[in-house]
Amino acid sequence: MILLFGFKRVPEVLAVVTLVCQFCGNPAAQRIEEWTTKFTLFFIPLFTTRRRYTMQCSYCATVSALGQDEAERLAASGARTGGSGAPTAG
């Protein structure tokens, strides 16, 4: 009997936030991504073995690792800037 097993990495964009990049120094969109590594059996993902968080600058494309707390905080702040950033008329 042959067992086909392996690992699959699945990226998911949590948020896009505008920050001053620590590498190139430009205020640019930073993509906050969650990389989930899943164990697969016969190409079917069964369970998550590892979770990583990264931030990629859209200007210089440098990828830096993030902690889970920092990634979630940035994702939450990115979700809020969608509508509340503009001043209200009236």
Least distance to Zn ion from the beta carbon of 67, Å?
19
44 lies in the site for Zn ion, by CB under 5 A:
no
Q: Which amino acid is at 21?
A: C
Nearer to Zn ion, 18 or 77 (CB): 18
Q: For Zn ion, which residue of 24, 41, 44, 65 counts as binding (CB under 5 A)?
A: 24
59 lies in the site for Zn ion, by CB under 5 A:
yes
- Site for Zn ion, rule CB under 5 A: 21, 23-24, 57, 59-60
